[in-house]
Structure 1
Amino acid sequence: MFSIEQLQAFVATVETGSFSAAARHLGKVQSVTSQHIINLEIDCNATLFTRTGRYPKLTEVGKKLLPQAQALLSQHQRFKNSAFALTNHTPNEITIALDEGIPFQKLTNIISELELKYPQTTLEFLSASSLDIIDMLSNDQALTGVVFSELIIPDFLDFECIGAVKFDLYIAQFHPLATQVCKNIDDLRMYRQLLIRSRNTLTSSFQLKISPDIWYADNYFLLLELVLQGHGWCLLPNHVATESVQNGSLIKLPLEFKEMGWLANVDVLQHQRHSNQDEFKVLRNLLRNLL
């Protein structure tokens, strides 16, 4: 009979690349992890990994079973979170983490409505990069996050898209690129790029590394200051750049391809342990009006 432990060992081995790394990831000794996989192979009557090389490699049978194992583990996690929520009362304090690159002019009205409905709840607001906010949600430092969409979101988080923010490429008005029209993206490789990354040095899935010379910051307003001082070019949310563009200190990068910026989707993230509770549903519904 298959067990959750067997599936966890199977998926962890694929994701980490070896039996020993999977054991470390699961907090078990390697012999236990290896035995779980052997037992799973016996139960499936099939070999899931070839073991002839230095690292285990999925067989064709293993490749077919992997997505089903991942789906079962995801559903198992959701079941555990749903069971936890049955006896878990709404917390007295809700921490909302926000990416600074998202406009929040309407946040005051949203929070006022939440306060009227739940006057006894204490609210805390944190600001961080989107990737840092995902980490905060993972360890309950935050209970709701408003972030730019990432390609990979942990299975234990529920999410919905509430809109999008327009980004464009910007430089200081005295930067060398201000006096020429870039014909293609290769022209940008010759100049320093300024880029957002998290405090654990991860970069967003939509923040492309183009130049070999890169400086980093963990929020868009610091990135703006670096751009204004002429330290490089960068991608900024338009609302962050508006004031500097209006006073002439910042300009959109002159481009032959006029639209090299893009729209970044904005998501509301909540842990599965809380997302079905009334207060979190109300908050999620209010945040739909943010953009």
Structure 2
Amino acid sequence: MKIQFESLSAFIAAADTGSFSAAGRKLKKSQAAISLAIQNLEIDLGFTLFDRDGKYPKLTQQGELVLKDARELMSQYSAFIERSKSISSVEQVKLRIGIDPLVCCHKINEIIQDFSMAFPLVELKIVQQSSESLAQKLTDKTLDFALGVFSRDVKNNFEHVSAFQLNGSWVVSPTYVEDNQLRLDNGVVNIEKTVFNQSRILLPSETPLTDIDEVSLTKQIWYVEDIHTLLSFCRNGLGIAYLPNFVVGHDLERGSLNKLMLDSEQTGNNSCRASLIYLLGYQKSSAVDWLTRNFLKFKLCDPD
């Protein structure tokens, strides 16, 4: 069975207008062409769609059932045509972006949600890994661009745009404070440089951050790419951690972590700057340009 589109169109028009001649006028075809198209449809289906004994053709019971399916099919066809027209205007159907969890705060999530409404036809693939891993994937051409905290050496190999500031804090668990007999004052831990330099440091990335030169003097540094794992280690008293404020905000409020102060200075007020990186010579589509502009709109990534 091979149903012709023209036959279905003629059938629906005849049912809607009440006659073959009116259907012809609606479709700008002759009455004979409409009648032939419906006859061909009836032959394909194997039953009669119209009772032609009266002055005007009347739908049979089978015809009424077929009409419902025919309308649905034509509706789907129309939607297909409109979607195809929309797709033809899309520059980039698939977009692959990398986002370091270090910078994936609530504002980034909001931008992605807005993007889904602005570009509903673009298929988005989001990879969340460390900035170093994202840079490698960009080199391998498995990503279109990446958002993260990148070292100067990495930036030199890509086109990059400086984005928002990311504030972070040094934090420790109450268990760590108790075990190491540290001073706790209103939820803030005071620690001497010598103690800090001999402590195990937990970092989410090997990317250098500003104002933490003390780390180079520490006894032991653990780099843990997964933020949730690093946070768990810190909660269990395995060391002093440096994490974005939007990650540790709830722990600080609940008292499951304490902010660290070094020699009466807030080591927790360290910051770094997120950057967008692309392969050299990368031509931005309208979708990528939209994301770039929106990632650059806000200046600071911090807790709500």
Which band: TM-score by shorter chain?
0.5 to 0.7
Q: Which amino acid in 2 is paired with 1:267?
A: S
Within a 5 Å distance, the mapping from 1:7-86 to structure 2 comes to none
Report what 1:251 is aligned to: 258
- Please say if residues 98 and 145 of structure 2, whose CA atoms lie closer than 8 Å, have aligned partners that are also in contact: yes
Contact kept in structure 1, 2:200 and 2:220, CA below 8 Å: yes
Cα distance in 1, alignment partners of residues 217 and 247 from structure 2: 22
- Contact residue 178 and residue 254 of structure 1 kept, 8 A: no
CA-CA distance at 1:100 after TM superposition = 0.9
- Secondary structure at the aligned position of 1:225 is classed as helix
Deviation of residue 226 (structure 1)?
Answer: 0.5
**What is the DSSP-based 3-state SS (H/G/I as helix, E as strand, rest coil) of the residue aligned with 2:191?**
coil
State how far apart, in whole Å, the 2-side matches of 1:167 and 1:122 are: 32
Report if aligned partners of 1:170, 1:252 keep a CA contact under 8 Å in 2.
yes
User: Is the 8 Å Cα contact of residues 162 and 268 (structure 1) preserved in structure 2?
Assistant: yes
| TM-aligned CA deviation for residue 265 of structure 1 | 0.5
Query: What stretches of structure 2 of length at least 5 have no aligned partner?
Result: 1-89, 184-189
Q: Which residue of 1 aligns with 2:172?
A: 171
2:115 — aligned with what?
A: 114
**1:153: which partner in 2?**
154
Instruction: Describe the superposition over 1:176-202 as per-residue Cα deviations: whole angstroms up to 9, x where unpaired.
Output: 346233232x321222221234xxxxx
Give the structure-1-normalised TM-score: 0.61
Partners of 1:177 and 1:258 in 2: CA distance: 20
TM-score by length of 2: 0.58
Quickly say closer, same or farther: Cα 1:218–1:108, change in 2 above 3 A. Answer: closer
Unaligned runs of 5+ in 1: 1-88, 198-202
Contact 2:105 2:246 in 1 (8 A): no
Say which of 199, 202, 207 aligns to 1:204. Answer: 207
| Alpha-carbon displacement from aligned partner over 1:92-119 (angstroms, at most 9, x marks no partner) | 2111111111143133442344334433
Question: Identity rate of aligned residues, in percent?
Answer: 16
Aligned length: 197
Aligned CA distance change for structure 1 residues 190 and 96 (closer, same or farther; 3 Å): same
| Higher Cα Rg, which structure | 2
Change in Cα spacing, 1:108 to 1:167, as seen in structure 2 (3 Å) is: closer
Q: Assess, with a 3 A threshold, how the Cα gap between structure 1 residues 222 and 118 changes in structure 2: closer, same or farther.
A: same
* Cα 1:136/1:257, change in 2 over 3 Å: farther
SS at match of 1:249: coil
- Give the residue type in structure 2 aligned to 1:283: L
Secondary structure of 1:239's aligned partner: helix
